[in-house]
Amino acid sequence: MTFSLPRFFIFLLRLFVLQFSFMLFWRLLFLFYFLRKDLFTVPMDTLNALYLGLKFDTRFFVFSIIPLLLLLMMPWIRLKKKSYGRKITYGYLLCIHLMTTLFYMVDFGHYSYLEGRLNSQALKFLKDFWISLEMVYQSYPVFPILLFYLFLFFLYRYFLKKIYRVWDNLEFISPLKKNLTLVSCFFLLALGGYGKISWYPLRWSEAYFSNSARMSSLATNPILFFFTSLGFKDQSYDLEKVKEFYPVVSESLGVKKEDQDISKLEYHRFIPSKEALLEGDKKPNVVLIVMESLAAYKTGHFGNTLNPTPYLDKLIKESLHFRRFYVPVQATARSIFGLVTGIPDISRVKTSSRNPLITEQQSVFSEIKSDHKFYFLGGSASWGNIRGIFSHNVKDINIMEEGDYTAERVDVWGLSDLDLFIEAHKKFDSLPKNESFVAVLQSSSFHRPYTIPEKRGLFKIEQLNKSNEELDELGFISEDEYNSLRFSDYSLGHFLELAKKSSYYENTIFIVIGDHGLPVGNADHVPFGERYHQLENFHTPLVIHAPKFFEAQEVNDFASELDLFPSIASFLGDSYTNTTLGQDLKWRDFMRGSDSIQREDPLKRDLFTYYWYISPATFGLLNEKFYFVGNSEGRAELYEYQKGEQGGIDVQLHYPEEFLRMKNLANGLFYTSQYLLYNNPHLHLGD
């Protein structure tokens, strides 16, 4: 007995091969025209880009063929020779080919002219359609291109007719058999469209596995890329506003007078290398731990009487602690973007990590010299398309995510914090003792659904027996949230206990921050001004634990998440170029053996905050005494936020000079951040 596939499956398979062959032709043409040198210099990257590109091409085929299947399921479509079904599907496929080929040709020309895939920004050329058309005519061999276009059309038509020989013999016994066949096809196509065997489907950020923009372009499907970019077509920047505030911003960032250039909007600051901190021939390791939702007010150190963070509180007492540390924007993906790039994520529609138009960013993290670089996440780095931010911008980064660990996921966020920390410790402990590493370790357990795993070591769930109103006044929304934070804190403590028994502990700098704060509700231990202005959404601890280098002390300087990698690089002694808003916190001033100091004048440090969830776009500027609040439509208010209930009264008329200074700087940082999102390319990674 022989097995044979139904004729409709054979028809669909042949159609896939035909469509796929044409897309493969364009991909290979792109490779040999734009990346022929990379065929031999980075062959594995080239193969990976082709592999990913073919997966995206498969997804495009799925999207293009689904309307056809929906048509065939209509009761008035008969799958018989010379029927409506044949004519409609044949015409549909020819139209799809015409549009696809035209798109590929335009994309190819766009890339050769601007070295970037066709995206939504190209729509602006339609505003001056005739001028753009004339430019195309004068810049490209239009008539040979048209002849080539017609040649591809007739070639496709020739093969399509051959495929329809299978169609001509199609005949279903009953409507039930017809629809069962089509539903089966839907299922197979859905697998192809999903793109991978994983919790998350194939996402565009996976194309950005390389630091090379060209290699990432090879891995994308140009049509899918264009339609992904449409969601961000209305986001841009106001160049005139950027130039207006350039003198204020460049002065604030410390751009040298001789380097300030308003015509080029120069923000670069080259930081020379310092004397290296070495143990023998080895640099210190750095483990930057980003704790999910670690709002300062929820910790015991900042006055929470429920004592939910005993391990962190103990760590603070043993470490260098910046108590005035703020992230610029609330929300995890926005926070991670700001951490890596040094630019606050002030995108309005979606997070910047989800915007394919601004994936390329210069990062100080990439310039730090270390034998190994890691990013640890318990779930998938496809979350928020955060993968592209690390893999495309940080040289030699090793992304560790679900599937790379022996432990199993416990909920939607992947591994529990406890398992993640244990896995990270195993990796660090297995590295050669003479090799250094820098790692970002991102926890996620302290997040809804507040899962406490069965495997939880010595951690015990605590029953509070308090009403929701009582919990609200103590800074928690539920008992589950309270225990979830306790478990996250326990996991951090367990990790450090493991580390203390290892060989890497003594020469490692452990940095603990929260990715963002949280709304305070009615937490009565939070000062009125901080509640009124929602500052606890941004306020988290910054703990630097390295007994070999630092004595325990608390610092009252203002610090931003944007400062972390510039500070790490400077502390390690590496030279780097800073192009964004982060600044060196000069941790060396607090090292053992040096005179511990406070900064000369905390009032001179202003921290930028951004409320992405408020419309119109609202931002703030914070220092020791004042909080300025403004927005994109001209709002401008000044508050003495630390003066109790008086912290909600606008005092701009009482401090006109300070009001004007903070207004100009706040607006400048807002418009400059918008600009830098689109103008912060790699400096040293190259293509």
Q: What is the DSSP string of 527-588?
A: -HHHHHTTGGGTEEEEEEE-TTTB--EEEEEEEEGGGHHHHHHHHHT--EEE-SS-----GG
Q: 202 and 72, same structural domain?
A: yes
Q: How far is CA 249 from CA 166, 266, 289, in A?
A: 67, 11, 30
CB atoms under 10 Å from CB of 250, counted, come to 22
Whether 255 is in a domain gets the answer: no
Give a yes or no: residue 438 inside a domain: yes
State which of 216, 232, 248 marks the end of a domain.
232
Alpha-carbon dihedral sign for residues 42, 54, 380, 329? positive
Instruction: Give the per-residue pLDDT at 124.
Output: 65
- Total domains in the fold of the chain: 2
Residues 206 and 300 both lie in one domain: no
- Extract the tokens encoding 15: 């159609």
Within a domain: 166: yes
Residue 273 lies in a domain: no
195/294 same-domain check: no
Residue 618's pLDDT is 93
Helices 386-393 & 332-341 angle (0-180, nearest 10): 10
The reply to whether 36 falls in a domain is yes
Find out whether the peptide bond into 527 is cis, omega within 30 degrees of 0: no
88 token code pair: 């409609």
Q: Are residues 324 and 207 in the same domain?
A: no
> Within this chain, do residues 179 and 320 fall inside the same structural domain, yes or no?
no
**443 and 341 within one domain:** yes
Question: Within the chain, which residues score under 50 in pLDDT?
Answer: 1-4, 79-82, 603, 687
Closest to 607 in 3D by CA, of 664, 666, 567: 666
**pLDDT for position 4:** 46
The residue range of the domain holding 350 is: 285-590
The whole-number pLDDT of residue 597 equals 57
**SS3 state of residue 297:** helix
pLDDT at 2: 39
Give the pLDDT score at 305: 95
* Rounded Cα–Cα distance for residues 385 and 337 (Å): 10
Looking at 590, 620, 642, the residue that finishes a domain is 590
In a domain, 573, yes or no: yes
* Six token digits for residue 559: 């610090």
**CATH no. for residue 548?**
3.40.720.10
Do residues 477 and 551 both lie within one domain?
yes
The pLDDT assigned to 171 comes to: 55
Determine how β-strand 627-631 pairs with β-strand 636-639: antiparallel
